[in-house]
Chain A
């Protein structure tokens, strides 16, 4: 009996070896390749940061709101978008169009929208809060909407804009995050299983320097300019006297506006949205940490929201509550006077004047 067991084990080992060898050959069936290329994320999150304060940085707010608009339109709910705006441009006294931020002097697209939810604003946009957010070390009692509650199945989009330099990004002109700090925070995210794949997008001067220090896996990064290059703004709106938007984000938004929820457009196409002749700066891309081929990754893997749905073919029996119950409730409630009147203390401290 023992002998036959050993024989069986050896036979199995040989079979496995031959099978793996055939799989290792170049003629692997296409469907296996495709399966690896397919994303296995379960939810989508976005962290969108505008790190600049002051009215003349209007374009940075327009940048970040452009991406906010796109991810929201493509299905990431507000509860999974962390939006950080260092200054209030929409209701700024200098803005002659209150509660509106446009990406274009023609005012076709109000990127601020009518139902924006800003999670961190004003003085709350700090390097500390940003790193705390990424690493999940928020202060006790932080509101749920201000936390990045991602898990190992989350595809995270991080978008940063502001004024940068070689190896740093300025926050509100008073502090800066270095590329090393950023890489450490993201490494911590990976160690804590806080993301599945990460798309890092940055629109600042010398933007490529920000992703240089990354070592964590599954990161696809794109930057509006290489080290030593400036990122440039697109155009000025003379009616409010400031630059509207930066070039890279302007063309990114132009591309994203054409993407629909069920779109088959790929990240590969997205990485080419701003060729040098329109961007003036060179768009930097870092793919070495990313396992999949960007040309086969759907853009909605990062910009769209996953809605896990299961289609059932069997009929489901749901008993509806009769309408009558609700009507009765409404009739039963007396409008006023039924409750005993309460005694309230005097609202004014009259006793002080006696």
Chain B
């Protein structure tokens, strides 16, 4: 017992020594009233940790232990896992701070000495299995058969020592449900869990009553080539879209109304704890109002933010912000569409062949270069010779064509194409596919529900930053997006995922066949058996051949025997009747 105590004490001493490394935790909440009356709340919890060496990963403080262990054990340098329910409506809501595909989406960059393709595949499998445990999701279903290696669509956001090859793995599970069991473990990764700070607002009953919700874990590392100094960045974000009318049956809302409770102070571990409210449109009166108003000019568009520094305002008490609509008139807003949008759908007649159609729209006055990534599961055999990129009737030139054909049960179809979308036009990208039968054990238990095809990813550089709130690659806090003017702005959007109803065999057919066959055999067996085993004879023991005396004796005998003889006769009768 005492040795155990000593051991505990030793750990305490070690942790004191290690506390000299710098580790910071920030919590941020960005609230944006959306043009259509909805409200977008974006939570971001950032932990940044500077370490002298990789060994420091074994002594965690603010960073959750499982995350540090993952970075220590695997050669993963950047990892993004998002679990999303619902579809982000770009036309109505603009661009989100962080975009993710419906269902589960995961991608990771691996980089290390002597790393080979097979190592990476093994690590990717282990990594996703580990996170399936950490996030209570079915990420363990990610394997080679649904993983692609994007060449152009995803670029590293980590920094590793030079001269080593990086590997990427990308996969989506569009069928994944997202519910409390994912939110709970996600919240447990935070230093204050959901006890204090912004995470206390994330009550599952309210979070899952939204039009869109997405939780994400993003990890990346920066390593200096010379010193070996390592910086780890862990960003946990939750993106929610509420419909105030559904919640409070009025266009006014407050933090307490949409989350079910007021903000419960700040997390004492946090270095900063700030709320940003987008007040560019100036449609709401904020109660209480903030004195700290910042203007952010980014590529010719200006956004105004009211900033609440919770460390100063109310570090311990409950806090609430009410949004009271200034103009009570019910005006229908005219929403200018974002520059780039994308949609996808299936064109098909019958259950034999179909077309997957992706529409990429450019609403800008200038041409826009885009890269489109399609990730088609192996059970949707696609024919790339039918790939057409058309703007109206004009066939567009494909600048780059990267295609890895799929292989049954082994590899998905992966397509990346680069093309230019002309100004103010919609480009249609389509190709043919076949509906196929699977092996009958490969159908899921609810085969008639259909099979999902993960969303396509469209990447582009936007010339203007209208509706654009993404944090630049070198930044990590929401405030780093303020005044972050750049020549162009990187955007990555996702299309809808598709539901494809493959032809399903009649699963009860074997059962029906067995039942029917057995009935037929049973019916046939009886008569065939009796016909083949019994001899048909004419009953010669009849009365007509006997003499008179014998007849009399026979009758007397019958009378004496009485009932006994009766059944015997009927047995002998039977073959006759047939």
Q: Quick check: B418 and A115 within 8 Å, CB to CB?
A: no
CA distance A78 to B475 in the complex (A): 37
Q: Judging by beta carbons under 8 Å apart, are A116 and B203 in contact? A: no
How many residues of B sit at the interface, in one of the four size bands?
Answer: 35 or more
Whole-angstrom CA separation of A172 from B449 in the bound complex: 14
B residues in contact with A114, CB < 8 Å: 180, 184, 203-205
Q: How far is the CA of A142 from the CA of B134 in the complex (A)?
A: 11
Interface of A is mostly: loop
- What is the CB-to-nearest-CB distance from B518 to chain A, in angstroms, rounded to a whole number? 19
A352 in complex: contacting residue of B85, B152, B178, B507, CB < 8 Å: B152
Tell me, yes or no, whether B185 is within 8 Å of chain A by CB: yes
Complex contact B177–A141 (CB within 8 A): no
| Inter-chain CB contacts under 8 Å: number | 160
Q: Contact between A118 and B136 (Cβ–Cβ < 8 Å)?
A: yes
Assess the A172–B184 pair: CB atoms within 8 A.
no
> Considering the complex, which residues of chain B in the window 153-182 have a beta carbon less than 8 Å from any beta carbon of chain A?
153, 155-157, 159, 175, 177-181
B403 CB, nearest partner CB in chain A, Å? 15
Is A106 engaged at the interface, CB distance under 8 Å to the other chain? no
Q: Is the CB of A123 within 8 A of B445?
A: yes
Q: Is there contact, CB below 8 Å, between B185 and A117? A: yes
How far is the CB of B169 from the nearest CB of chain A, in Å? 15
Assess the A321–B16 pair: CB atoms within 8 A: yes
Question: Do the beta carbons of B134 and A352 come within 8 Å of each other?
Answer: no
Contacts of A326 in B (CB 8 A): 19
A91 interface hit (Cβ, 8 Å)? yes
**CA A288 to CA B77, docked complex, whole Å:** 57
Instruction: State whether B445 touches A173 (Cβ < 8 A).
Output: yes
B208 touches A124 (CB 8 A): no
Nearest-CB residue, chain B, relative to A54: B446
B444 within 8 A of A: yes
Q: List chain B residues, Cβ under 8 A from A312.
A: 1
Q: Is B461 a contact partner of A348 (Cβ separation < 8 A)?
A: yes
**Does A99 sit at the interface, judged by CB under 8 A?**
yes
Whether B19 contacts A99 by the Cβ 8 Å rule is: no
Closest-by-CB residue of A relative to B137 is A121
Contact yes or no, A123 B399, CB < 8 A: no
A145 at the interface (CB under 8 A from B): yes
B138 touches A335 (CB 8 A): no
Interface pair A121/B138, CB less than 8 Å apart: yes
User: Which one, B125-133, B294-302, B321-329, B557-565, is touching chain A?
Assistant: B125-133
Distance (whole angstroms) from the CB of A141 to the closest CB of chain B: 4
Q: Is the CB of A100 within 8 A of B22?
A: no
Residue A330 lies at the interface, judged by CB distance under 8 Å to chain B = yes
Q: Is the interface of B mostly helix, strand, loop or mixed?
A: mixed
Query: Are A98 and B208 in contact, CB atoms less than 8 angstroms apart?
Result: yes
CB-based contact B179/A344 at 8 Å: no
Task: Tell me, yes or no, whether B50 is within 8 Å of chain A by CB.
Answer: yes
A112 close to B (CB within 8 Å): yes
Nearest CB in chain A to that of B371: its residue: A349
Residue among A119, A335, A353 with max Cβ neighbours from chain B (10 Å): A353
Q: How far is the CB of A95 from chain B (nearest CB, A)?
A: 10
- Given the complex of chains A and B, what is the CA–CA distance between A117 and B132 in angstroms? 12
Task: Determine if A124 and B129 form an interchain contact, defined as CB atoms under 8 angstroms apart.
Answer: no
- A100, B203: Cα distance in complex, Å: 12
Closest residue of A by beta carbon distance from B9? A318
Choose among A146, A343, A344 the residue with the greatest number of B CB atoms under 10 Å from its CB: A344
**With an 8 A cutoff between CB atoms, is B141 at the interface?**
yes
The CA-CA distance from A250 to B48 in the complex, in Å, is: 48
| Chain A residues positioned under 8 Å from B319 (CB to CB) | none
Q: How far is the CB of A128 from chain B (nearest CB, A)?
A: 11
Nearest B residue to A113, CB-CB: B180
**A144 at the binding interface (Cβ < 8 Å):** yes
Q: Are A325 and B19 in contact (CB under 8 A)?
A: yes
The answer to whether the Cβ of B291 comes within 8 Å of any Cβ in the partner chain is: no
Contact A144 B208 (CB under 8 A): no
Contact B181–A116 (Cβ < 8 Å) = yes
> In the complex the two chains form, is A325's CB within 8 Å of B16's CB?
yes
Asked whether any CB of chain B lies closer than 8 Å to the CB of A313, the reply is no
Q: Which of A53, A119, A330, A353 contacts B445 (CB 8 A)?
A: A53
Once the chains bind, are B179 and A88 in contact (CB under 8 Å)?
yes
Contact A121 B461 (CB under 8 A): no
A345-B156 contact, Cβ under 8 Å, with A114-B204, A122-B138: yes
Question: Cβ of B310 < 8 Å from any Cβ of A?
Answer: no
Chain A positions within 8 Å of B22 at CB level: 329, 332-333
Q: Is A350 close to B, CB under 8 A?
A: yes
Min C-beta distance of B106 to chain A, whole Å: 14
Shortest Cβ distance from B153 into A: residue: A349
Asked, given contacts A116-B180, A143-B130, whether A99 binds B209 with beta carbons under 8 Å apart, the answer is: yes
For the complex of A and B, the 3 pairs showing the least CB-CB separation, nearest first, are: A143-B133, A172-B445, A91-B179
Given contacts A99-B204, A124-B140, A333-B271, 12 further A-B contacts (CB under 8 A): A88-B179, A91-B180, A91-B208, A113-B180, A145-B133, A346-B155, A347-B155, A349-B400, A352-B152, A352-B418, A353-B399, A353-B418
5 residue pairs of the A-B complex, CB under 8 angstroms, read A114-B205, A318-B9, A344-B156, A347-B157, A349-B153
